[in-house]
Structure 1
Amino acid sequence: MADQIKKVTLKNGRVRYRTVVDIGRDVEGKRKQLTITKDTRREVVEERARILHQRGAGTLVPPNKMTVDDLVDMWLKTATRDVEAATKRSYEDAMRYVQAHLGGKRLQQLTEDDVESLIDWMLTSARRRGGKPGTGVGLRTVRLTLGRLRAALTLAVRRQLVVRNVAEHVTIPRDAKDAAKARQKRYVPWTEEEVRAFLAHVATDRLYAVWLLSLIGMRPAEVCGLRWSDVDLQTGTVAIETTRTLVAGEVVEKAAKSDAGQRRLPLPSIVLAALKAFRKRQAAEQLAAGEGWWASGRVACDELGREVKTDWLRRRAYKAMETAEVRKVRLYDARHACLSWMANNGVPDVVVSAWAGHADLGFTKRVYVHSDPQALKAGSEKLGELLG
C-alpha cells in the first residue's frame, strides 16, 4: 500500500497524498483509472478502500463531466426507440423544460433543490407558447416533465452515472394541485335530449353518417381513418383498424395502438342506412367532379373525395352544433355520451369496454362513463322500493 500512495508537494509548499485506482474498462475495453488526492495519507487509504469495495460490489459511480443536457439526449434516444410519433413528441416536449432550466448543469451536481426549482419555474413562468408568455404551464405538463425526468435519472443510476435519483421523492406542491383543480374545466357529455336535437338538425347534412359514427363511440381519429373497404354494407359491420390524426401539425396515419382498439362493430340500423345513402351521394359527387375527383377511399371526405383531418372534422362539428342551437361539446364528448348511455341502460361493462376499444375495463368506467340525471333518478326509484 505504501508504494501506491505518493507524497506530493505543491508549489506553495503544501503537502498532499495521491494514489491511482483502476476502476474497470470503458466500452472499448480500455482501462479506466481514478486519481485520489487528499490532505492526509489516512484519507487516501480510506477513500481507496471505499472505491475498491464499490468496484467489487458493482456500485461504483466514477466522476464524469456529463451534463443534464447529455442525459436528456441519451434518455430520449433510448425511450423513443420504439414508440409512436405522438408519444415521441410528448417526451421531447416534456424534456425541453428540463433542458431549458437545468441543461447546462453537471449531472453529478444535480440536487433535489434543483428539481424543485424546475417545478417552481414551470408552475410560475415557463410558458413560451399556447398562452401568455412568462406565465406558468399546466399541472399536467409539470407532471409529465417530472415523470420523464425521473425516468431519465433512473437510467442514469442504472448506467452508474449518478449515485441516486434526486427526482424520486420530489413532489408538486399541494397548493398548485388545488389551484389547478379549481381551474379545471369539467367536460359534460350531451344528454339524450341534446343528442336527439342535434341529430334532428343534421338529418339532411352531407356529413350525417359521419356524425352518427361519432355518436356510436368512434374516436375522431378513427372516423377520419375509416375507409369504405372497412365498412361491410351487406352484413352491417365496420372494422376499426386505422387512425388518422395530427401530431404537431403533421398528419400521422397508423394502426390502432392496441389489440382492443382494433375491433369490428355491428352497426345500428340507422347508421347503416345513413352510410348506404352517403355511399350513393359520394358516387354522384365523383361523377360530377370527373377528373377532379380524389379517390381517397375514405368515408369521411370532402366534396372532391379528399381525405380530411381531425381539425377539419372538429370545425364542421362545431358549426353544426351552433346552427342546431345545442351545447358546444368536443367530438370526444359525443363518444363519452354514447358509452355513458350504454352503461346507464344495462349494457354489460365488458361490452361497453370492448365497444370503446379499451383493454382496461376500469379505465372505461373511470373516464368515459358518467351518471346522467335519468340514471340517478332510476337509482332513487330502486332505493324507494328497498326502503318501502
Structure 2
Amino acid sequence: MNRRIFAGIEEIKRKKWKIVFLIAYWFIVCLEWIIGIEKITQLNVSVYNGIFQLLMLELLIIGTMLILIRWGGNNRECKKIEKVLEESKFIDKKGNPPLVLRKEKEMYGYKFCFYSEQIPLAEFEKQKAMLEVLLNIKIVSIEWGYSVRDVIIKGIPRGGELNKVLTWEDTMIDEREFVLRLGRGYFEEMEWNIAEIPHCLLGGGSGSGKTILLKGMLRQAIIKGATVIVGDFKGGVDYSASEWKEGAVIITEEEVFLEKLEEIVKIMRKRQENLRRMEVSKIEDYNEKTDAKMKRIIICIDEFTQILNKKDKERKILHSKIENCLIYLTAQGRCVGIHAILCTQRPDCEVLDGKIKANLGLRICGRADAILSDIIIDSKEAAELISQKDVGFFVTNFSSNRLFKAYYFEDKKMGETNATNKIE
C-alpha cells in the first residue's frame, strides 16, 4: 500500500493537472467540516465537536490516501494484469505477482511500471517472451525505475500507426541550428544533434530503407546551408537526379573522392588555425565572432565497404589513403564543423577500422541479421526488434527507446535550395 501511495504522488508530479482532483476533494471535505462545526455550535452540542473534527480529519487523510492508491495502480486494469501474472505463475516466493503501479500510453507505445520486493530485473528479462504474450506487446526495453525494486517495461503494439508511411515535408525541419529529424519512435521523436554527436554509422540490409533515411538527413543538411559531399559507390544511381547534383557534390570515382577528402583535410587545418586565432574552440563560437561564417561540411559514403576493402590488392594503396583521411577527419573534424556519415548493407567487421568506428558516435541499423546488427550498434536488437517485412524501421544506440520509423523522403521534394557546392 505504501508503494502505491508513493506511486500516486509520482503520478501527480508527472501529470500536474491531477492535483485539481485532490484540491477539489479537500475543498469539499473542508466545506463540510466548516458547515458541520456551525451546526454543532447552533445546536449547542459541543460535546460532539471533538469527535466530529476527528472524523473529518480521518476522512480527509483516508480519502487522500485512497485517491493516491488508485493512481498508484489500484484500479481495474492494473488489477487485471496482476491477476494474469499470478495465474501464469510469474510470482515471488510468497506467491504474489509484482504490483502493477501504472500502465500508460506514450505516443505510439505502452509503458508498464512494476514493483516487487523479491522479483529482480533479471527475472523480468528471463521471462521476456512470456511477458510479451501476457501484456500483448513487443517489448522494446526492460529497465530499472525509481529503485532496483521498480521495473519499467516499454513495448509496442502489434500493428499501429507507425506502420503507415511518414512522408517528409520541408515544413517539418527543426528550427535549431543543426538538429536533423530522423523519424518517430514509439515513445519520442528521433533526432540527431550534429553539434553534440558529429559522426554517424548507418547500416541495414538491402531494401531496409536506409537510403531513404540518408537522403532525408542530407536534404535537411542542405536546407540548413551545409556543404554536402556524397561518395556514391553503388553506381551513382541513387543520386542521379539533377536536383541532387545541384544541391550536393556527387562523386562515384574513388580517385576523385580521395582528392576531395585531401582537400577537406587542408580546409580542416585552415579552420583549426582560424579558431586558434579567434581564441575559440568550436565552429559555433567562431561564427558568432565573425562575419566570415564557416559552413558545416557533411561527408557521406554510401557503401563504404567498396572503398575501405583491404582485401583488394590492386587498390589497397588508394583505399589506405582514403581510410587515413577518414581517421583524421572523424577524430578532429567536430570542432570545425566537419562531419561524416558512413553507410553499408554488407556486414564485414574487418573493413571498418576501429579508430573510425570509435568516432562514429551515432549508430543506426535497419532491418538486418544478427551479424550486421552487432557490427553497427554492438547488439543484436535490430535483428530482434525489426522483422523481415518491416521497411523504414531502425534501431539506434543513443536512446533507451531505440526503435523508430524513419520519415519517407522523395527525390522530387528536393526542389530549389540556396546550397552551393563551393567548399571554404
Q: TM-score, normalised by structure 2?
A: 0.24
Higher fraction of strand: 2
Q: Which has the higher contact order (CA 8 A, sep 6+)?
A: 2
Between Structure 1 and Structure 2, whose CA radius of gyration is higher? 1
